[in-house]
Amino acid sequence: MDMSQYLEVFIDESREHLQTINEQLLELEKNPDDVAIVNEIFRSAHTLKGMSATMGFEDLANLTHQMENVLDAIRNEKISVTPELLDVIFRAVDDLEAMVVSISEGGDGKRDVTEVVAQLKQIEKGDVVAVPQKSNSTYEQTYDEFEYTILKQSAEQGFHSYEVTIKLRSDCLLKAARVFMIFEVIEQIGEVIKSVPTVEMLEAEQFDDQFVVTVVTKVSQDELQKRIMKVSEVEEVNVRSVDLRRSVAQDGSLEQKVEQKVEQVVDKKQENQEEKTTGKQVSNKTIRVNIERLDVLMNLFEELVIDRGRLEQISRELNNPELHETVERMSRISGDLQNIILNMRMVPVETVFNRFPRMVRQLARDLGKKINLEIIGAETELDRTVIDEIGDPLVHLLRNAIDHGIETPDVRRAKGKPEEGTVKLKAYHSGNHVFIEIEDDGAGISREKVLKKAISKGIISEQNAANLTDKQVYELIFASGFSTADKVSDISGRGVGLDVVKSTIESLGGSVSIDSEEGVGSIFSIQLPLTLSIISVMLVEIQHEKYAIPLSSIIETAIVKKEDILHAHNQKVIDFRGKVVPLLFLKDIFEVPVVKEDDDFLSVVIVRKGEKMAGLVVDSFIGQQEVVLKSLGNYLTSVFAISGATILGDGQVALIVDCNALIK
């Protein structure tokens, strides 16, 4: 019997079962005596075992079988649930996830799991198992997807990534001081991305004589080795290049590696209602559609939108009532069709959010903190292209909140706060945008600390610092290489990252802002467009050329007299509602051939990015329109301040202006 035809279904269903197991294990940790949760986990594990055996993946089936035995013992109250026991089960789930990823990439799903199987057998007998620390001789760095992304981006920018194994002399007295000195040396020439054991363990001297750090730098291996060897009491330094092809550590975050699927949910509300009334689990009626088919459908529809614009223009020119009526009806229907196609591409953000509770639990345990993660609005839907990109920035912001935001239990007690810190991850729709907020009730951001660091890094001058609002000060932490951490930490990315977060979100046409109160907490708010391919724009004319400015960036339009233009710092500005707004003459920026003379009045489009505003000077406004955003292709990737092009109803091409690049 040929099993290959069932492989895709097997991979999808295995992922769903593993996700359920992960979620329910986290619930079990909160309610260790709840047998119903154990039964739920047991059911998923049992199904997974059966499917794996049928498909011939013996290793997967055997490990699941061993996990099932432990769950059965918990269910029958032979053993009790402890965090240590759950650590072992989570390790088994990690291995299962790695096997499923291997199968999805065409592998055989084999993996060495003897250690974790031995631990599960020990637990089954009733022995207490402590998860062994890795022996010093075999420290090996594995990277989660976020760290891997940083290493990859650094390599693209010409940096080298090295794993440095450092051994201190066995008679070294102040190991923590030596570690600090080594990090100081590395900081002068590069950045520490990760360390094993963690920095907290190194500072607490919870290691023998050896540790490994991953460093991103521009200096050579020999130079790095020489510099570290100069620190006294360092016995040995081994530097080797990071193999970026090595597999990333599995934490459930490498989903959607196989051909991506999207689920179209039918009658969701109605079924949710039924579920509430009957109290039974009702499965959604879904159909799996290859995402490429949806992309083709979207492209065909975009062509239709272009032709719709052309028809509307012809209809206006001919002024035939019957043609007019037909075109109007077609516009209405194609509008409905557009909504349906866009909704089919929509995926709930829970596909990204699902992997965070597990990560937060592990981080909290590593850092010795108590953290409660609240997820609100996971059913909010986003375009699949955005979903694919948004995972990394969110991982970084969550790590940031847990590492720098939430204080340790003793500090929180001293401040009169509950020991357990709360991190809220919230998604909601507003207008034509989706907002994702990460809120923590931690230490907040210190204005003084940020300004001090920004001045020392030369990001701003002392004179400017005094005039900045709190919000503008918080924006500074998105500057490249900025970090206010008192201690070096491998958790939140060491200041490599918040600038990456900002650029990733802006590349999706979104924005990120911060609100914070020292001692109370912080809120990071991400604003994202609902769809990236069909956007509302304001069409403008510059000489004989047409340009489109996205409505999402525009505050308003204005007509300005030439004599109202002022000069400040070699820049033409206007006074707009009490604010000084710089003027940008698009005809100069885009070098538009001059055909007609200037008027005494200027047409200005006021645009905003975050706190900054600018006035774009154009010749005339044409009006608002929905257009299809087409990329400029591979030849024109480096064109300044143009994000794409569109074809108008009369067949002309209008370039779409990237307001973010202009304001920068």
Residues with catalytic annotation?
46, 68, 400
Q: Mention every residue, 6+ apart, whose C-beta is less than 8 A from residue 467.
A: none
CA dihedral 209, 213, 218, 221 (to 10 degrees): 40
Residue 121 has a CB neighbour count (10 Å cut-off) of 14
Residue listed under structure tokens 């329109």:
625
Q: How far lies 498's CA from each of 156, 293, 459, 583, in Å?
A: 18, 35, 15, 30
Q: How far lies 462's CA from each of 253, 377, 465, 481, in Å?
A: 43, 42, 5, 19
Residue listed under structure tokens 């200041």:
495
What's at 157, amino acid-wise? Answer: Q
What's at 540, amino acid-wise? Answer: V
Q: Assign residue 233 a region (left: φ > 0; alpha: ψ between -120 and 50; beta: otherwise).
A: left
Compute the distance between CA of residue 57 and CA of residue 105 in angstroms, rounded to an integer. Answer: 14
DSSP string, 317-381: HHT-HHHHHHHHHHHHHHHHHHHHHHHHHEEETHHHHTTHHHHHHHHHHHHT--EEEEEE-TT-E
Half-sphere exposure of 121 (CA within 13 A, CB side): 8
Start-end of H helices in 508-615: 586-589
* Distant-in-sequence contacts of 572-578, Cβ < 8 A, 24+ apart: 574/604, 574/615, 576/606, 576/613, 576/615
Q: Where is 192: in which H helix or E strand?
A: strand 190-196
Residue 221 pairs with which residues in a beta bridge? none
Compute the distance between CA of residue 590 and CA of residue 305 in angstroms, rounded to an integer. Answer: 27
| Of 523, 487, 472, the residue nearest 404 (C-alpha) | 487
Cα 531 to chain centroid distance, Å, stands at: 17
Contact 46, 69 (CB under 8 A): no
Compute the distance between CA of residue 11 and CA of residue 101 in angstroms, rounded to an integer. Answer: 8
